[in-house]
Structure 1
Amino acid sequence: MLWYLKYFVLLYGGLFAITNPIGAVPVFLGVTHDLGREERREIARKTALTVVVTLVLFALVGEWIFEFFGSSVNAFAIAGGVLLFKMAMEMLSGSISTVKISREETEEFGGEAVTLEEVAIIPLAIPLISGPGAITTVMLYMARSTDIPGKATVIASILAIGVTVWLVLCSSGRIQRRLGRVGIKAMTRMMGLILTSMAVQMMINGIKGAFGL
């Protein structure tokens, strides 16, 4: 039981660094700047739900994706490590990773021509929060979990991230007032540092497994 608790904390911490919901606060406020409190809470709820559904779906079908494309867990670990490392380098500069979202996407969905559901799903949930890095991570950890409790721990960490995303987005106004843009950039850099170590370790594990080291 203690091992699974540690595993949960490890997974949750890693997913928190990758999804970086605090770093998404400025974008969330930007695309919802003309909406009321209740509408913002509704978007936050739908965004969190979309994040959970997306990550759980990829976590569950990840093994079949490996088999279909003839890829291995080790090859995926190396490729995923490279992707996470790129994200981490951009986060260390204090910016939102371009692997997640582009400036054009942010501007396009900042207007009034889209519905609340569209804003919640794209660009907030996908690809801003549950982007390629988060999808890669849950697929990899699910593939490496060989027993039911281990796989359940991965799902539990995704659910916990969904709750965290909802809480952060619902409190986005207060978070920005307290941290300010400088504080959010500092938090993003901290998450980038954690993500860098995760990416390097992921590549090391993949190389060791591929070459039987």
Structure 2
Amino acid sequence: MNDITGHILNVFLGFFAIMNPVANTAVFVGLTSEESDAEKRQIAIKALLVAFCIVTAFALLGNVIFHMFGISLPALRVTGGILVFFIGYNMLNGERSKMHKPRGEDHAADDGVAISPLAVPILAGPGTIATAINFSSAGGWTETVITIAMFALLCVVTFFFFIGSRKVVSTLGKSGLNIVTRLMGLILAVIGVQMLIEGIVGAAVNWHNYAS
């Protein structure tokens, strides 16, 4: 039971760090600054639903993708670990990763913004997808269900952050957002290193078994 609780907490914190609802709230405000409250709600719902569907698909089909392309779990963990680490490293330096940065900062906020850049790549970027596959592939259906459930929970949390975006930004201020971003970056970098270590150990074990 303790192992399951620890896994649930690890998955939620991993997703929370890489999606960073607080920092993404500032992005949401910038993208929807000219929209009404009703339009903001619609954009938030659509973006989060799209992100949830994408992450769920990769969480469910991760093993199929592995077999189809001949990808091993250690290889994914090493690649995902490096990817997640560099996203965290950029956040530690007070920067947004290029994988999370909207391509068109001067985009007029409209319904299309919900899909890109908000849903992809800000909410469901490469790092989020790699994290979902890594967590869901760590075991059986229990891990997959936990991964999807925790991402769904985070989507709900993010929705409330987005809806109360003005209050969040005004309460924390620029300095507060920077502090939160750096803290999330530290957590993310550690998770990335952990994924990298597990990938290297797994690859070494596979190589040893193959050589034997």
What TM-score does the superposition give when structure 2 sets the normalisation length?
0.92
Query: 1:82-97 counterparts in 2 under 5 A?
Result: 82-97=82-97
Is residue 65 of structure 2 the alignment partner of residue 65 of structure 1?
A: yes
Distance 1:150 1:127 in 2: 24
In structure 2, the partner of 1:199 is 192
In structure 1, the partner of 2:152 is 159
Distance 1:180 1:30 in 2: 14
Q: Is 2:137–2:143's contact at 8 Å kept on the other side of the alignment?
A: no
Corresponding residue to 2:124 among 127, 130, 133: 130
Corresponding residue to 2:171 among 153, 171, 178: 178
- The amino acid across from 2:197 in the alignment is I
Deviation per CA, 1:12-37, whole angstroms, max 9, x where unpaired? 01100001121112221111111111
In structure 2, the partner of 1:7 is 7
In structure 1, the partner of 2:108 is 111
Deviation per CA, 1:167-186, whole angstroms, max 9, x where unpaired? 11111110000001111111
Report the identity percentage: 33
In structure 1, the partner of 2:30 is 30
Aligned residue pair count: 206
In structure 1, the partner of 2:115 is 121
What TM-score does the superposition give when structure 1 sets the normalisation length?
0.92
1:77 to partner: Cα distance:
0.3
Q: Is 1:23–1:187's contact at 8 Å kept on the other side of the alignment?
A: yes
- The amino acid across from 2:70 in the alignment is G
Distance 1:21 1:61 in 2: 26
Structure 2 unmatched runs, 5+ = none
Q: Is 1:4–1:153's contact at 8 Å kept on the other side of the alignment?
A: no
1:158 to partner: Cα distance:
1.3
Q: CA RMSD in A?
A: 1.4
1:160 to partner: Cα distance:
0.7
Displaced runs of 4 or more, over 6 A: none
- The amino acid across from 2:87 in the alignment is M
1:207 to partner: Cα distance:
0.4
Q: Is 1:101–1:128's contact at 8 Å kept on the other side of the alignment?
A: yes
Q: Is 1:95–1:185's contact at 8 Å kept on the other side of the alignment?
A: no
Query: 1:31-50 counterparts in 2 under 5 A?
Result: 31-50=31-50
